[in-house]
Amino acid sequence: NGGQLNVGIGGDAQIGHGWDGTTGVGRTFIYDGLLTVNNWTTGSVHPNTPSFIDISRGTLSIQGYRISPGWNDGAAVDRMAEQGRITGFREAKFDKKINIDNPGTDRQNDVINNVVIKWNGSRTLVTAIHPQQPVPYYNDIVVAGEIEFAWNNWDPNMPGDPISVDIWLGTEPNKLSPHYAKVVSAMDVTGQARSSKVIKLTAPGKYFWQVDTTNGPGSFHEGDLFWFEVVSYRAPELKGADSVITTLDLLPAAISGTVDTFGTPLTGVDFALLADDIHFPAGAHVELTNTTTSLQNPTATLTADKPGIYKVKLTITDGTTTIEKLIEVHIYADACQAKKDSPSGWAANYYDRDGDCDVDVADFAVFAREWLNDTTMKAQETRPRDVVYIPQSAFDNRIEAESVNPDAVSNAPVTDENGVRIVYEGGASGGGKALGWTGNGTWAEYPITVPAAGVYDVVYSICTPQTTTVLNFGDGTTVNLYGSVGPLPSFGGWGNYGISMQKGALSFPAAGTYRVRITWTNEANLDWFTLLKQ
């Protein structure tokens, strides 16, 4: 009901699970705030029980892409919404459901059973839309004056029945209070799916409102309660991307912003190049051109003759409030590196052996060179070489190190500024990401499920220039309670990832889900790891 709750789900643990077969029920209500879930399975909201997740004003945030068809249909959020296992405003008095199918191959930005599903580049976000789609909505801020109220209407109780509404409005949500009154009575909305009414409010403060409906003889529906804030002045809002990534051959770079004003028009818009910034490339010739100081959508273009980081300051003012926004333009000479550094992420192609973002004859040359340098068949009798078989299940069930909860590391949270952070490297699998910037004493915690008591082999993918690094697996109290892996091999230094297996590395006393803390001795980037029962 506000705030934030982080839930780590693993193995057989679900948010709403039928613990007792089909009789168990798990129901989660998000009235407000943020619920983050880091592992999501088919049973996260159990399909064979009356279990559900209902979202009101809050948000459900799930790690990873959980939208069909790019995700297992049984666990896809949109499938769960279609089945009613995830809904918005389940307890709303207004009983319609909002469903909007936006064009596209997947369900991003679709509205299904009053919830809208979005992808922000790393997490699947599920938020609710009230089926009456009221305006003003919960906690909206509007400027005093002529305010338009809008809402969806009930269907007629019987075909042909007339529909009328009463609008209640005031500063106290109590119909018996003198501060809550019927400001519109018996407004005819017959045949209208959606209606609106302009009402003048001059006094600042918090207001409540509702729409009561009569949709046929003897058929009356009291409306849900909404609230909003009235202010005498509201500052403008400046939105837009904080950075632009491009290459020299794709210049000029487009820079833009979007301005929302609330009754007070802008009096000034300005773009300025910060040529004295310490990151400004020495000797570079750069220009801001095609500057359009539109009061709603200011735009400009930037051209330069050298790669580097160029900073542009966009300033808007309405005479009362001045807002500045710093926009960084990252210009690369190498289109491949630009893609690797893009916030949208970069997935390494296994066959791109030289990491230049192209699969071509140069990659075949890398394969050939490795083959020609393979000396494992020489001096077989005097220098035997062990061949380690790693089953496919080790790759299918791997735990990506970068999937760690941002708050479950030694210097939480995970950021790009200091301490443990996610690194983007072509040699890493699973999207070119790994957990890096580790050192002696660094730790990260993961929920790990083991099917039975006993000894486990560990398969892992790492890169390190050292041969003395050890990964200790413990419970946060005893650093190597479950065992350790290492010393880790080196596959040639930073950026050179390799896969290895250590047999009999770990031991667990019973089946179940453990919160395992991995503690580093010395440095190594951890890409992924898997446990295999002996």
* Contact assessment for residue 194 and residue 204, using Cβ atoms and an 8 Å cutoff: no
Tens digit of each residue's pLDDT, the chain (534 residues): 555 666 654 444 445 444 444 555 677 888 888 888 876 766 677 666 777 889 988 899 888 888 887 666 667 889 889 988 899 998 899 988 899 888 776 788 899 999 999 988 778 999 999 999 999 998 899 999 999 999 999 999 999 999 999 999 999 999 999 999 999 999 999 999 999 999 999 999 999 999 999 999 999 999 999 999 999 999 999 998 888 999 998 889 999 999 999 989 999 999 999 887 767 788 889 999 888 877 888 999 999 999 999 999 999 999 999 999 999 999 999 888 888 777 665 666 767 777 778 888 887 887 787 777 765 545 444 444 455 677 778 888 889 888 888 878 887 666 655 678 888 776 666 557 888 888 888 899 999 999 999 999 999 999 998 888 999 999 988 888 999 998 999 888 888 888 888 989 999 999 998 999 999 998 899 999 999 998
* CATH (domain of 434): 2.60.120.260
pLDDT at 17: 45
Only one residue has tokens 């395992």, namely 516
**Residues 119 and 144 occupy one common structural domain:** no
CA distance 248 to 337: 12
**Residues 225 and 251 occupy one common structural domain:** no
CA distance 11 to 268: 57
Number of domains comprising the chain: 5
Burial of 220 (0-12, 13-18, 19+ CB in 10 A): exposed
* Contact assessment for residue 446 and residue 404, using Cβ atoms and an 8 Å cutoff: yes
pLDDT tens digits, one per residue of 43-94 = 677 666 777 889 988 899 888 888 887 666 667 889 889 988 899 998 899 9
* Phi, then psi, of 81 in degrees rounded to 5: -70, -40
**Residues 365 and 446 occupy one common structural domain:** no
Kindly state the greatest CA–CA separation across the chain: 99
CA distance 169 to 381: 92
Residue 167's alpha-carbon distances to 194, 198, 226, 383, 413, in angstroms, are 14, 11, 12, 89, 47
- Pairing state of beta strands 498-508 and 454-463? antiparallel
Tell whether 319 is covered by a domain: yes
What DSSP designation does 533 have? E
Tell whether 99 is covered by a domain: yes
Q: Range of 258's domain? A: 237-336
Select from 63, 37, 35, 39 the least CA-distant residue to 123.
63
Residue 264 one-letter amino acid: T
Among candidate residues 231, 259, 289, the one where a domain is terminated: 231
pTM, entire model: 0.57
**Residues 426 and 487 occupy one common structural domain:** yes
**Residues 8 and 117 occupy one common structural domain:** yes
First to last CA, the chain: 45
**Residues 259 and 295 occupy one common structural domain:** yes
**Residues 422 and 506 occupy one common structural domain:** yes
* Contact assessment for residue 527 and residue 404, using Cβ atoms and an 8 Å cutoff: no
* CATH (domain of 328): 2.60.40.10
**Residues 528 and 398 occupy one common structural domain:** yes
**Residues 166 and 54 occupy one common structural domain:** no
How much helix, strand and coil, in percent to the nearest 5, is found in the chain?
Answer: 5, 40, 50
Residue 142's alpha-carbon distances to 145, 147, 230, 258, in angstroms, are 9, 8, 5, 19
* Contact assessment for residue 135 and residue 225, using Cβ atoms and an 8 Å cutoff: no
Lookup: tokens for 132: 């009456």
Half-sphere exposure (Cβ direction) of 369: Cα atoms closer than 13 Å: 8
Only one residue has tokens 């799916």, namely 193
* Contact assessment for residue 155 and residue 138, using Cβ atoms and an 8 Å cutoff: no
CA distance 244 to 139: 32
Tell whether 133 is covered by a domain: no
Among candidate residues 269, 303, 336, the one where a domain is terminated: 336
Tell whether 135 is covered by a domain: no
Neighbours of 307 (CB within 10 A): 17
* Contact assessment for residue 274 and residue 311, using Cβ atoms and an 8 Å cutoff: yes
Select from 143, 180, 105, 116 the least CA-distant residue to 318.
143
Tell whether 426 is covered by a domain: yes
Tell whether 305 is covered by a domain: yes
* Contact assessment for residue 155 and residue 200, using Cβ atoms and an 8 Å cutoff: no
* Contact assessment for residue 122 and residue 66, using Cβ atoms and an 8 Å cutoff: no
pLDDT at 381: 43
Dihedral angle, C-alpha 249, 251, 257, 258, nearest 10 °? -80
Q: Which long-range contacts (CB under 8 A, 24 or more apart) does 365-374 make?
A: none
CA distance 425 to 341: 10
**Residues 419 and 358 occupy one common structural domain:** no
**Residues 294 and 221 occupy one common structural domain:** no
**Residues 151 and 225 occupy one common structural domain:** yes
CA distance 103 to 466: 51
Among candidate residues 186, 210, 231, the one where a domain is terminated: 231
Tell whether 161 is covered by a domain: yes
**β partners of residue 80:** none
Burial of 382 (0-12, 13-18, 19+ CB in 10 A): exposed
Tell whether 104 is covered by a domain: yes
CA distance 240 to 345: 19
